[in-house]
């Protein structure tokens, strides 16, 4: 009946005078080389056959074309290129219709924009999300989308990386018509036959003029200034705007050449390498030994112990995922507060128009408050979220051990504490696991899954399954003080304290860290989290601190004054009348000066680069120790932890990827140089030394056996 192209991933078949070209490359019809070859061959076939009056492009399965083939990332490009394929579609002298269902993203949408007409099914999703990989649409997306939807709207679509629904795409001008039902081919044939009956012309997107170029360019300038502020040095967003400016100002072919040149610049940028690493690391991080060894336990009901900020946030996460949740608190007043903390989140969504009162009532109907542990007799999974104090948590777990059914998963939400010690107070340590949520727990993506010595593999697998249901990014961590994230945080925060005592102000350090790409610097983070939290940890550790280790007391002096950050109106910064953005505080600088004088430190100048060399060396070196000790399975687990939970700039790929790009020999040389000032703090990780000796990098350790 029809011709099959390479590997039969693109097939052609006649339906009357229409050549139906079907992309069939499961699971999402990604644009691998065989698909590109198949599309080019199909267009040549349509052009050469005088009996063909029109062409229908359709995707088999659940998508039109969901974008590039990630298996080809980083490999040499094979012909034909996607811009050539798109050009062959647009050049066709017979009407070409793309029928969009499911995902039409990235290169898939660029293929559709090259067709002469587009029809979308209700569930279609359209987008140009290349920015999330440090790229820009490189096959005419930056040139064709502005011609269909206007320069500003197209630019905003590309900068956001977001998807448009079929209805929104119709309103924007990206598609010409919406179809009913879910039969893509039938909808497309009906539309194309109607077009042929009307003698509809071939309508090439490249021939459409962008209206009012002067106004479009003025809007793009405003967008450029706004984007430069928001993206903190990110490379591809401003290149996207440059491409759209070219679409407005230049003939189509010159605009395409500009897009290609800027696309290749993005392809070569270290930011793209960081973003691609982030993309793959988040897929790899769920591959853990326990998942191979055991299936997760079934769970349908969840209990949360504690209704404070953290307990309420975890409750909201579980309710959002559709679970019935029982919250246990010590008395009626506490449970009322806990319920209010949960309800406040949904009330906020209703106020913003993002939820109806009916939907809120339906969610809250799955919430039960209780003051009795006995109500947990039949619950499948319990998450304890009480005060961060070992004895308090042990008392909770003794109660859970008493009331919970055999096989219930018992989880503790702790940031630092020894989960082996918590598990040891129960008769079932195989059921006890750590789930370290990050605050606010209903928003933050990271979930550290902490694996104590005696836990069953099926319980670890269950924790990963829970993370998936709650839409969290899970990272497997071993038991130690602080696990992966907080253990490393403690070290680079120490490095920041040393830099401060040696001469840089906290405000200069925060500015350097923001300049690197973090949203906030370490002293801003302290003020946001509350200085009293770190103070309590420091007091807890005081007895075990090495007396020879350098200890900076500035934060203690600030806490002694009752200045705990935003919640008290001042910390390292001043927050007049509840302001969220802090102002530098001369009294804090006076405290820093007094501490320097007390220690006999002569302050010295630091450049932003000098600050970041120390800050990042401390972070990456402790990351190496965490991998070396098996607390993290792989370097990429450290990277995902920091990108998902600690604001590490995604375009840098995480601290271990950053170290690889910086160069491990250079990093080791930095640490050895800093060790001349403080050999106790600046000890090179044995893993870092070993990798440098062997000429390898952290990425070489990212594949699990």
Gap between the terminal Cα atoms of the chain: 47
Query: Treating both helix axes as pointing N-terminal to C-terminal, what angle do 141-149 and 252-267 enclose, rounded to 10 degrees?
Result: 130
Burial category of 651 from C-beta neighbours within 10 Å (exposed 0-12, middle 13-18, buried 19 and up): buried
The count of other CB atoms within 10 Å of the CB of residue 343 is: 16
Beta-strand runs (E) in 288-438: 302-305, 325-328, 367-370, 381-384, 409-412, 432-437
Token pair 């209780």 is found at 370
C-alpha pair distances (Å), 620 with each of 373, 528, 577, 670: 43, 24, 38, 12
User: Does the bond joining 440 to the residue before it have cis omega, within 30 degrees of 0?
Assistant: yes
Give catalytic status of residue 595 as yes or no. Answer: no
Are the CB atoms for 452 and 423 separated by under 8 Å? Answer: yes
Question: Angle at Cα 138 formed by Cα 134 and Cα 139, nearest 5°?
Answer: 155
Which residues are within 8 A (CB) of 683 and not within 5 positions of it... i.e. 6 or more apart? 621, 675
Q: Report d(CA 163, CA 168) in Å as an integer.
A: 9
Burial category of 225 from C-beta neighbours within 10 Å (exposed 0-12, middle 13-18, buried 19 and up): exposed
Per-residue buried b or exposed e for 582-612, using 16+ beta carbons within 10 Å of the residue's own CB: beebeebeebbeebbeeeebeeeebebeebb
Which residues are within 8 A (CB) of 704 and not within 5 positions of it... i.e. 6 or more apart? 287, 289, 633, 634
Which residues are within 8 A (CB) of 72 and not within 5 positions of it... i.e. 6 or more apart? 32, 33, 78
For β-strands 125-127 and 163-165, DSSP reports them as antiparallel
CA-wise closest residue to 656 among 646, 641, 675: 641
- Name the catalytic one among 90, 130, 501, 508: 130
Question: Angle at Cα 132 formed by Cα 129 and Cα 138, nearest 5°?
Answer: 55
Maximal C-alpha separation, the chain: 92
Question: Angle at Cα 313 formed by Cα 311 and Cα 316, nearest 5°?
Answer: 110
Q: What SS3 string covers 26-42?
A: CCCCCCCHHHHHHHHHH
CA-wise closest residue to 21 among 125, 103, 111, 110: 111
The count of other CB atoms within 10 Å of the CB of residue 563 is: 23
Token pair 């007409």 is found at 117
Give catalytic status of residue 399 as yes or no. Answer: no
CA-wise closest residue to 234 among 162, 164, 135: 135
Could you say which DSSP state residue 131 is in?
G
CA-wise closest residue to 218 among 287, 268, 151: 151
- Name the catalytic one among 7, 90, 110, 265: 110
Q: Active-site residues: which are they? A: 110, 130
């Amino acid at each position: 009946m029809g011709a099959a192209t390479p590997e039969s991933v693109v097939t052609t078949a006649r339906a009357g005078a229409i050549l139906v070209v079907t992309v069939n490359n499961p699971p999402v019809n990604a644009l691998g080389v065989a698909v590109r070859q198949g599309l080019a061959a199909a267009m040549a076939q349509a052009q050469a056959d005088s009996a063909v009056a029109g062409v229908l492009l359709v995707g088999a399965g659940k998508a039109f074309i969901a974008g590039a083939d990630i298996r080809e990332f980083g490999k040499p490009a094979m012909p034909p290129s996607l811009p050539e394929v798109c050009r062959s579609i647009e050049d066709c002298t017979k009407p070409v219709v793309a029928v969009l269902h499911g995902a039409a993203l990235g290169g898939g949408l660029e293929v559709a924009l090259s067709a002469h007409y587009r029809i979308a099914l209700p569930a279609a999703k359209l987008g140009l999300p290349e920015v999330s990989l440090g790229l820009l649409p490189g096959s005419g997306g930056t040139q064709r989308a502005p011609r269909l939807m206007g320069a500003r709207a197209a630019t905003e679509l590309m900068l956001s990386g977001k998807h448009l629904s079929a209805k929104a795409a119709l309103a924007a001008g990206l598609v010409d018509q919406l179809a009913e039902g879910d039969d893509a081919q039938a909808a497309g044939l009906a539309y194309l036959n109607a077009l042929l009956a009307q003698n509809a012309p071939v309508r090439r997107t490249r021939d459409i003029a962008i209206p009012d170029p002067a106004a479009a360019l003025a809007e793009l300038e405003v967008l450029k200034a706004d984007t430069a502020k928001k993206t903190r040095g990110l490379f591809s967003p401003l290149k996207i705007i440059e491409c759209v400016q070219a679409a407005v100002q230049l003939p189509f072919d010159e605009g395409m050449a500009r897009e290609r040149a800027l696309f290749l610049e993005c392809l070569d940028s270290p930011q793209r390498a960081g973003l691609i690493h982030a993309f793959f690391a988040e897929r790899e991080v769920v591959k853990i030994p326990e998942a191979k060894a055991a299936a997760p336990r079934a769970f349908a009901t969840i209990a949360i112990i504690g209704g404070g900020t953290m307990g309420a946030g975890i409750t909201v996460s579980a309710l959002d995922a559709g679970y019935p949740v029982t919250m246990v608190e010590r008395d009626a007043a506490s449970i009322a507060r806990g319920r209010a903390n949960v309800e406040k989140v949904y009330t906020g969504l209703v106020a913003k128009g993002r939820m109806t009162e009916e939907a809120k009532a339906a969610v809250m109907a799955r919430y039960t408050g209780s003051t009795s542990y006995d109500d947990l007799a039949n619950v499948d999974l319990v998450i304890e979220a009480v005060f961060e104090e070992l004895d308090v948590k042990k008392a909770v777990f003794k109660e859970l051990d008493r009331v919970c059914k055999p096989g219930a998963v018992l989880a503790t939400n702790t940031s630092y504490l020894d989960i082996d010690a918590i598990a040891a107070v129960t008769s079932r340590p195989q059921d006890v696991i750590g789930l370290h949520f990050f605050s606010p727990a209903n928003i933050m993506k990271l979930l550290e899954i902490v694996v104590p010595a005696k836990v069953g593999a099926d319980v670890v697998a269950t924790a990963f399954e829970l993370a998936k249901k709650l839409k969290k990014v899970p990272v497997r961590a071993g038991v130690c003080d602080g696990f992966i994230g907080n253990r490393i945080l403690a070290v680079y925060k120490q490095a920041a304290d040393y830099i401060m005592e040696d001469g840089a102000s906290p405000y200069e350090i925060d500015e350097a860290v923001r300049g690197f790409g973090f949203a906030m610097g370490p002293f801003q983070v302290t003020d946001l989290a509350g200085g009293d939290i770190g103070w309590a940890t420091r007091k807890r550790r005081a007895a075990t601190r090495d007396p020879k280790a350098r200890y900076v007391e500035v934060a203690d002096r600030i806490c002694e004054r009752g200045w705990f950050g935003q919640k008290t109106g001042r910390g390292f910064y001043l927050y007049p009348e509840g302001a969220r953005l802090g102002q530098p505080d001369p009294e804090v600088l006076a405290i820093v000066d007094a501490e320097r004088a007390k220690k006999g430190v002569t302050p010295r100048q630091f450049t932003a680069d000098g600050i970041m060399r120390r800050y990042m060396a401390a972070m990456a070196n402790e990351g190496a120790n965490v991998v070396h000790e098996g607390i993290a399975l792989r370097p990429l687990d450290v990277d995902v932890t920091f990108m998902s939970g600690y604001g590490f700039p995604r375009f840098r790929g995480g601290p271990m990827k950053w170290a690889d790009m910086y160069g491990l020999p250079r990093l080791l040389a930095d640490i050895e140089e800093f060790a001349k000032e403080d050999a106790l703090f600046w000890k090179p990780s044995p893993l870092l030394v070993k990798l440098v000796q062997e000429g390898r990098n952290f990425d070489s350790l990212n594949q699990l056996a």
